[in-house]
Structure 1
Amino acid sequence: MPEKKAVAKSPTGEKSVEPTSNSPYQLDNAQVLKASKALLKYVKEKKAESAKSKKANLLEDPENPTPETIWLNLTMKKLVTDTKRLKPARIILPHPLRNPQTTTICLIVKDPQRTYKDLVATTPALSAVVKKVIGVSKLRAKFKSFESRRLLADSYDLFLADDRVICMLPAIVGKTFYSRSTKVPIPLSVSPVERLQREVDNCLKATYLHLNAAASSSLRVGLSTFTPEMVGENVSAVVERVVEGGKGVGKVGVPGGWRGLRSLHLKSPESAALPLWLAQELCEGSDVLGDGEREKLAAKEAIRKAEVKERRKRKKMKKRETRISKEQT
């Protein structure tokens, strides 16, 4: 059962949530709030200095400035995965980062696209945010050049894709989309079509954990227009789902939970990383290899690589035999 938290009043009269346990494997809400206040103050002062200097962004709309993103950096003791995953983990935030009234969405679906176009057109809630629906075949045929892909990426705020075709998109849209984190297509389930509206709403409310072959990862948890309390609540929601193994994240959470986590930091694109939590021990006793274990692991890895090589060889031979049989017929 989760540990209960006591509500205590600070000297200023504000309420703060403090854990009743002295365990080091938990998030200190006071530290999160302190870091959020310091970071938002730094972003505000930096923006004021930029507005006074000659290096002001002339392309930015002064009446509707673009807020800066607040990031949560997670550093693990072990790799979460050894390959890059194209399907990130969805984490619903109590304070969403996107405004449904101003966000424009391009929806990429499996052929045929007419079913989804008709559904969007007949649903006012969907047509208000989904401005374009395009099938994979038309995406491949109409957007072959780099310039056409760049124009498509700049035309919409968010790209959602049917999870059945998400693995095909890197070869179709290329680095024009995948070199910018804000344009990477986000997978959603559109089957059956009746759940499309709920899936789109959840995508607008969520942040995503993209996993690569690395020991660190970053998530968007706030904007510079948020209050420190809003940033803190979003951080707590992410930690609860990713670190503490909450429902919905499953196998993409931190291996070992808190004991598998090395550090948590909060930062903006141009600021230093402010620590939220640091591990007292960098490795557990089970992480230290004993006598002969290194050789055993090396032997297992050699066997695995040989099996992968053999499977690829058989697959290649099967394709060759299929091609030859078609040519003979």
Structure 2
Amino acid sequence: MSDENPGIELSKEQVCKAVEALRALIKQKENVKNLLDESEKVNLQFCFKKIPNTKNATIKIKLPNPLTQATTDVCLFAKDLNKASRDYEPTVRHFKELLNKHGVKCVTEVIPLKSLKLEYKPFEAKRNLSNMYDLYLADERIVRLLPSFLGKNFYGRKRNPIPVNLQAKDLKKEISEAVDNSRCYITGKGSSCMVTIAHTGMTTDEIVENILASVNQLSVGIPGGPDNIKLFVIKTIASASVPLYASVGSPADIQVSKVRPSKVKHSSEPQEITTLFGAKVKVTSHGKVFIIKDGSSVQTKGERSHFREKTFQRAMIKSGSGNKKKTEHNKFHRPLMNSGKEKKTQKQLFKKGKKETKTKLAKSTVKTPKMSSASSKVTVVKTSSTKPATKKRRLEKL
């Protein structure tokens, strides 16, 4: 292994023998003659010694011989030209004319984002769409929105749409690079990965060239490098696997560096919103939404922190925890816990406070007996604390 090319280099003769063995296995499986004469995909499968701690990492593989055929169906997900209108036919016509202008003939269908929202909302429609085409492309401006509309039928089966720049000057080259080459998706959930690198319609020499190029690029691109690869095999969907490379080693000796997933750059400029008149909306890369009215600017970091402090102070004052001196009104209107078991509402506590004040007033207001100036006779007056005298006692005193 040289310093200039640190990847794994396989012998060409060994790879030729493996391709011939794979062709022999395919012929044994073909009991019924294929009426359509369609070629099968040749996949390269490899295993890790140590599973990398990565999520949704993509390794681009440049192949010397393209994967596309005359029968390859390609679908393109495009951005809507007019978001306010429900009619998406002008968008379809616009992008088909754009593709024909640049000489792109491999794209068979154009689906705008609005059509994806309206027509492919049910689960069965998404599943049928994932099985309808061989390859899927997407405008890089809407790639971040597609997972919520396509779901696990695409991303769970690793049929991710390949992002392309539809505003590129050389659009034919941009789409041909996306269609002719391959991509390996590393999820970090298992010890093996698989990538399509050829098809049975190619010659043996073309398949061998693609295998050698993909093995070299994968061994350099995966976390841990060539030492982290345990096995390389080739196979089709229905055939048995034919080994190409095997390595013996302990996973403890391998240092795996974390590969960050590639982030799609998108413009954070404010866009028009149809629900509010004279306003615009801005969505950041973290998913935060800001509404801009009458040309006002978005809040800065210092303004947002000041706003958070003000709202926190208002909440503390409203709850009463910020004031040390608690009035009787706050005492009866704040919801408290009754012996840690039952919650008392504000109404019940207010009624209880009223009753307590009434009893206090009744105890404090006790009337004193009145003295008549004409005689020394005492007239007993009813009070809340003394019992009323009977008629007999009154007569005895008189």
- Same-fold call, TM cutoff 0.5: yes
1:307 corresponds in structure 2 to none
1:94 corresponds in structure 2 to 64
Q: Which has the higher contact order (CA 8 A, sep 6+)?
A: 1
2:76 pairs with one of 107, 112, 127: 107
Q: Classify the secondary structure of the residue corresponding to 1:193.
A: coil
Between the aligned partners of 1:286 and 1:131, the Cα distance in structure 2 is 45
Between the aligned partners of 1:4 and 1:167, the Cα distance in structure 2 is 37
Shift of 1:218: 0.6
Change beyond 3 A, Cα 1:92–1:82: closer
Percent of aligned positions that are identical:
27
Per mean C-alpha deviation after superposition, the further-off stretch among 273-282 and 114-123 is 114-123
Between the aligned partners of 2:4 and 2:156, the Cα distance in structure 1 is 43
Between the aligned partners of 1:24 and 1:159, the Cα distance in structure 2 is 30
The superposition leaves residues 67-89 of structure 1 with CA deviations (integer Å, 9 ceiling, x where unpaired) of 2221111112233443234xx33
Letter of the aligned partner of 1:149 in structure 2? K
2:240 pairs with one of 264, 272, 287: 272
Between the aligned partners of 2:230 and 2:76, the Cα distance in structure 1 is 37
Between the aligned partners of 1:285 and 1:174, the Cα distance in structure 2 is 38
Q: Classify the secondary structure of the residue corresponding to 2:227.
A: helix
Q: Classify the secondary structure of the residue corresponding to 2:186.
A: coil
Between the aligned partners of 2:254 and 2:45, the Cα distance in structure 1 is 25
1:73 corresponds in structure 2 to 45
Between the aligned partners of 1:160 and 1:24, the Cα distance in structure 2 is 30
Q: Classify the secondary structure of the residue corresponding to 1:194.
A: coil
Between the aligned partners of 1:24 and 1:4, the Cα distance in structure 2 is 9
Shift of 1:211: 1.3
8 Å contact 2:7–2:226 — kept in the other structure? no
TM, length-normalised to structure 2: 0.55
The superposition leaves residues 95-123 of structure 1 with CA deviations (integer Å, 9 ceiling, x where unpaired) of 22222x43332211334376785354144
2:208 pairs with one of 213, 232, 237: 232
1:211 and 2:154 correspond: no
8 Å contact 1:78–1:255 — kept in the other structure? no
Between the aligned partners of 2:203 and 2:245, the Cα distance in structure 1 is 21
Between the aligned partners of 2:7 and 2:61, the Cα distance in structure 1 is 24
Between the aligned partners of 2:108 and 2:76, the Cα distance in structure 1 is 8
Letter of the aligned partner of 1:224 in structure 2? T
Change beyond 3 A, Cα 1:4–1:30: farther
Change beyond 3 A, Cα 1:174–1:32: same
Between the aligned partners of 2:192 and 2:212, the Cα distance in structure 1 is 18
Change beyond 3 A, Cα 1:69–1:33: same
Q: How does 1:118-129 map to 2 (within 5 A)?
A: 118=94, 120-124=96-100, 126=103, 128-129=105-106
2:29 corresponds in structure 1 to 46
Between the aligned partners of 1:167 and 1:78, the Cα distance in structure 2 is 30
Change beyond 3 A, Cα 1:219–1:286: closer
2:17 corresponds in structure 1 to 34
Q: Greater helix percent: which structure?
A: 1
Give the paired residue count: 254
The superposition leaves residues 119-178 of structure 1 with CA deviations (integer Å, 9 ceiling, x where unpaired) of 541443555222333332332123212343344445433210123432322210223333
1:220 pairs with one of 163, 188, 196: 196
Moved over 4 A (4+): 1-5, 113-117
8 Å contact 1:43–1:224 — kept in the other structure? no
Between the aligned partners of 1:106 and 1:126, the Cα distance in structure 2 is 16
- For structure 2, list consecutive stretches of 5 or more residues without a partner in the other structure: 83-89, 256-285, 287-303, 312-398
> Which structure's CA Rg is the greater one?
2
Between the aligned partners of 2:202 and 2:236, the Cα distance in structure 1 is 13
- For structure 1, list consecutive stretches of 5 or more residues without a partner in the other structure: 6-22, 246-252, 288-311, 313-317
8 Å contact 1:40–1:228 — kept in the other structure? no
1:256 corresponds in structure 2 to 224
